[in-house]
Amino acid sequence: MSSQAEIIQAAAILREGGLVAFPTETVYGLGANAMNENAVRKIFAAKHRPWDHPLIVHLASLSQLADWASYVSPDALLLAQAFWPGPLTLILEKQPWVLDAVTGGQATVGLRMPKHPIAQALLQTFGGGVAAPSANQFTHLSPTTAQAVYEELGASVEMILEGGACEVGLESTIIDMSRDEPTILRPGMISAQAIATVLGRSVTAFGRMQAMQKVPGMHLLHYAPMTKTRLIASADIPGLWRLLTSDDLPAVLLTYSHHLNDLPSLRGAGGVDLLLKEVMASDPTAYAHDLYRTLRRLDQQHLKQIIIEAVPETAAWEAIRDRLSKASGSTG
């Protein structure tokens, strides 16, 4: 864990217009002073991210909401009170002074108060809003460890704060509260159901709005490993060995519902194992926690394919389903 002295140094870097990577409970973020246009531009350069993709502004406390949002509806306030600090981003009408570089020129701004103690300490010490996307190269997997941030960004970030493995492991739920119908733009581990319960009314699930609105991060092959990745139905796993040709191997099979000794084997010359196996947790919270770190590790093993067992169609797995379909470039 980073020390108090390191947090003070990181806040000073932010004040001087530099970049700091920091842990949140979801994934690591690449932060800049959200009021400094030059600093915000450095984020896009470091990530090779297209200029029109809006950034989330991270806040130290709920009392800062009105500094960034011109209108906070009673429902938006209810959500902030229920889920902040935590993995929920609210899209709200922006104050006129919020930089176009942050919002991608849109009339709205994404706001979130993270829960990780290092993120909170950094935000409190800095005092202002910190614009931060996930600390990865554009289209890559989000980093969930400081080591992964270093692999993604190296020297282009002045400081990386160490905060261990991220608790949630997937990016925040994003809900657009700037329109009449609350609309989920990106599913996360705070579910549509949990939000609907707090609001006492239904929310529009993400898929429906997807095609109609420009939402960066919603296109295919975002959050993707470099290795070719595909999904397989649980029922097809026992016969998997028949579906694979030498062009597909070596490969790894990522499963959550099978035990290692139930899984098919494929041996090459000299008894080399051509189908590696990785057994994930069967509980969605634990699965989400491990997913990106596991994919990142597998991506470094020079395999021809990562084959991932499709996860259940239930609400608890929705965010994971979304990230898996993006990792594999499928439209599921």
Task: Summarize as ranges the residues that interact with Mg ion (CB under 5 A).
Answer: 133-134
Site string for ligand TXA, 94-133 (x = CB under 6 A): ---------x--x-xxx-x-x-----------------xx
Q: Is 216 in the site for ligand TXA (CB under 6 A)?
A: yes
Q: Which of helix, strand or coil describes residue 110? A: strand
Size of the site for ligand TXA (CB under 6 A): 28
Q: For residues 163 and 223, give the distance between their C-alpha atoms in angstroms, rounded to a whole number.
A: 22
From the list 33, 172, 229, 305, which residue makes contact with ligand TXA (rule: CB under 6 A)?
172
Q: For residues 77 and 88, give the distance between their C-alpha atoms in angstroms, rounded to a whole number.
A: 12
Q: Is 23 in the site for ligand TXA (CB under 6 A)?
A: no
From the list 217, 264, 312, 329, which residue makes contact with ligand TXA (rule: CB under 6 A)?
217
Q: Is 91 in the site for ligand TXA (CB under 6 A)?
A: yes
Q: For residues 49 and 200, give the distance between their C-alpha atoms in angstroms, rounded to a whole number.
A: 37
Helix (H) or strand (E) holding 203: none
Binder of residue 123, out of ligand TXA, Mg ion, none (CB less than 5 to 8 A by kind):
none
With CB atoms as reference, the residue minimizing the distance to Mg ion is 134
Shortest CB 13 distance to Mg ion, Å: 21
Shortest CB 188 distance to ligand TXA, Å: 7
Shortest CB 138 distance to ligand TXA, Å: 9
DSSP state letters, 236-280: GSTTHHHH--GGG-SEEEEESSS-GGGS---B-GGG-B-EEEEEP
Contact status, residue 169 vs residue 288, Cβ threshold 8 Å: yes
The rounded Cα 297 to chain-centroid distance in angstroms is: 17
Shortest CB 85 distance to Mg ion, Å: 20
DSSP 112: E
DSSP 281: P
Give phi and psi for 305, each to the nearest 5: -150, 145
Q: Is 266 in the site for ligand TXA (CB under 6 A)?
A: no
The rounded Cα 235 to chain-centroid distance in angstroms is: 29
The letter for the amino acid at 136 is N
Binder of residue 143, out of Mg ion, ligand TXA, none (CB less than 5 to 8 A by kind):
none
Nearer to ligand TXA, 26 or 227 (CB): 26
DSSP 158: S
Q: For residues 201 and 182, give the distance between their C-alpha atoms in angstroms, rounded to a whole number.
A: 9
Q: Is 185 in the site for ligand TXA (CB under 6 A)?
A: yes
Binder of residue 146, out of Mg ion, ligand TXA, none (CB less than 5 to 8 A by kind):
none
Shortest CB 289 distance to Mg ion, Å: 18
Give the footprint of ligand TXA on this chain (CB under 6 A).
Answer: 24, 26-27, 29, 53-56, 87, 89, 91, 103, 106, 108-110, 112, 114, 132-134, 171-172, 174, 185, 215-217
